[in-house]
Amino acid sequence: MSGASLPTAAPAPVPAPATKRAAFPARALRWTRRLPLSGKVGLAFVLFWLVIALIGPLLAPYPIGAFVDENVFSPASRTFLLGSDYLGRDVLSRLLHAARYTVGLGAGAALLACTVGTGLALVAAVGRGWVDELLSRFMDTVISIPSKILALVMVAAFGSSLWLLLLIAGLTYVPGNYRIARALAVNLNQMDFVSVARARGERRAYIALSEILPNMLHPLLADFGLRFVFIVLLLSALSFLGLGVQPPQADLGSLVRENISGIAEGAPAILMPALAIATLTVSVNLLIDALPHRGRN
């Protein structure tokens, strides 16, 4: 099909002088319009949560720790849009604060996982045989430890301050990203354009960063999204078990945990934070899936 999409079969059709690429907003709009419906929904929620993570606390109607309701687990009402929690605090306000932890930790840890994983993958791909052998052996070992188990062992050993959680969640998903990135990089490393660069006398660093890496960005972006989803689920699970973000700080998983006793009443205090996590992870997943794939029709 690729042949059919190129109207350039003639020997040398002189293209019109490259029209200046459209300005960013116009391009972004066109890109968005091409997404399938599921992708548009995903994009909308992803943007929504990014905004909440940035300015959420400013929107909170009540201070985060204030006991504002006489009742606990009250249902949604005009005064408390998402009801109140097990101590009579405003769920919406707590949620707006907690989202920041969930999104921030998730994005930070995913970035850490992808940077370390891809960096090591590039080293393995262009490095000498034994470097690849050693790294891959190590990653294969770590990947054989189920991610939740690995995270639990690390939490037990190191504790769970915010920075440690970021580090633990990031490191847990390094091997997964390494595996994907290494497969991509090793494939690209065998391409003729890399052979040409090597025969030109280029250094390994140039080959890794200028020849190989640019061609990995697209799939890596998708992998970043996937790691983000995994990490958000992992951290929420840890918090839900009481092993993640510790009070007085709270992420969305902590909110579910502290309100678990509201389950019998079907309180919004337990459902809303859980739903919030779900909309975040599901929408990221939908968006990644809708991204245009290069090379696939």
Partner 1 sequence: MSDPATAPDTPHVPPHVPPHVTVTNLRIAARGPDGQDIVIVDDVSFAIPKGEVLALIGESGSGKTTIALSLLGHVRPGAAITGGSITVGDAAIRSLTPAALRDLRGNRIAYVAQSAASAFNPSRTLMDQVVEPALIHDLLPRPAAEAKAVELFRALGLPKPDTIGQRYPHQLSGGQLQRLMAAMALITDPELVILDEPTTALDVTTQIGVLQAFRAVVRDRGTTAVYVSHDLAVVAQMADHIVVLNRGRVRETGRVHQILQSPRDDYTKTLMAAAHPVVEAAQDKPRTAPVPLLQIEGLTAGYGRVDAQGRPAVPVLRDIGLTLHRGEILGVIGESGSGKSTLARVIAGLLPPARGRISLDGAPLAPGLDGRSRDDFRRVQIVFQNADVALNPAHSVGQILKRPLAFYHGLTGAAADARVAELLERIQLPRTLADRPCTDLSGGQKQRVNLARALAAGPDLILCDEVTSALDTVVGAAILDLLADLRRELGIAMVFISHDISTVRAICDDILVLYSGDVVDQGPRAAFGSPPHHPYTDLLIRSVPEMRPGWLPEGLGAPALPPIDPLAGDADLCRFLPRCNVRVAGLCDRIAPPRHDLAAGNAILCHLEEGPLAVAQRAEALV
Partner 2 sequence: MSASPASRPHAARNTLLRMIAGRIGAAFLTLILVSLVVFTISDLLPGDAAQEALGQSATPAQVAALRHEMGLDRPAYVRFGSWITGLAGGDAGQSLVANMPVGEIIRERLPNSLLLAALTTLVAVPLALTIGISSAMNRGGRLDRALNVATLSMVALPEFLVATIAVLIFSVKLRWLPSISMLPEQATWGQFFETFAMPVFSLCVVVIAQMARMTRAAVIDQLDRPYVEMALLKGLSPARVVIRHVLPNAVGPIVNAMALSLSYLLGGAIIVETIFNYPGLASLMVNAVTSRDMPLLQACAMIFCAVYLLLMLLADVTAIVANPRLRSA
- Residue numbers of the site for partner 2 (CB under 8 A)? 38, 137, 140-142, 144-146, 148-149, 152-159, 229, 233, 236-237, 240-243, 253, 256, 263-266, 270-271, 274-275, 277-278, 281-282, 284-286, 289
Span interacting with partner 1, options 50-58, 113-121, 207-215, 223-231, rule CB under 8 A: 207-215
Q: Does 4 bind partner 1 (CB under 8 A)?
A: yes
| Minimal distance, residue 40 CB to partner 2, in Å | 12
Closest CA to 75 of 240, 256, 270: 270
Query: Closer CB to partner 2, residue 62 or residue 253?
Result: 253
Cis peptide before 146 (omega within 30 of 0): no
| Minimal distance, residue 294 CB to partner 2, in Å | 16
Query: Closer CB to partner 1, residue 84 or residue 118?
Result: 118
Structure tokens at 244: 């993640």
Side chain identity at residue 74, one-letter code: S
Neighbouring residues of 58: CB distance < 8 A, sequence distance ≥ 6? none
Q: Does 37 bind partner 1 (CB under 8 A)?
A: no
| 71-79 contacts at long range (C-beta below 8 A, 24 or more positions apart) | 72/262, 73/259, 73/262, 73/265, 73/267, 73/269, 75/267, 75/268, 76/268
| Minimal distance, residue 130 CB to partner 1, in Å | 15
Closest CA to 245 of 173, 256, 229, 153: 256
Query: Closer CB to partner 1, residue 11 or residue 248?
Result: 11
Are 90 and 192 in contact by the 8 Å Cβ rule? The answer is: no
Closest CA to 252 of 267, 232, 223, 266: 232
- DSSP for 10-66, please give it: SS-PPPPPPPPPPPHHHHHHHHHHHS-HHHHHHHHHHHHHHHHHHHHHHH-SS-TT-
| Binding track over 135-174 against partner 1, x by CB under 8 A | ----------------------------------------
Span interacting with partner 1, options 2-10, 63-71, 83-91, 130-138, rule CB under 8 A: 2-10
Q: Does 61 bind partner 1 (CB under 8 A)?
A: no
Query: Closer CB to partner 1, residue 37 or residue 58?
Result: 37
| Binding track over 178-197 against partner 1, x by CB under 8 A | -------------xxx-xx-
Q: Give, in order, the Cα–Cα distances in Å from 128 to each of 119, 137, 155, 196, 205.
A: 15, 15, 35, 18, 13
Q: Which residues pair with 96 in a beta bridge?
A: none
Site for partner 1 in 6-35 (CB under 8 A): 6, 8-12, 14-15, 17-18
Residue positions counted in the chain: 297
Binding partner 1 (rule: CB under 8 A), the pick from 25, 129, 201, 248 is 201
163 binds, among partner 1, partner 2, none (CB under 5 to 8 A by kind): none
Q: Does 70 bind partner 1 (CB under 8 A)?
A: no
Q: Which residues bind partner 1 (CB under 8 A)?
A: 1, 3-6, 8-12, 14-15, 17-18, 191-193, 195-196, 198-202, 211, 214-215, 297
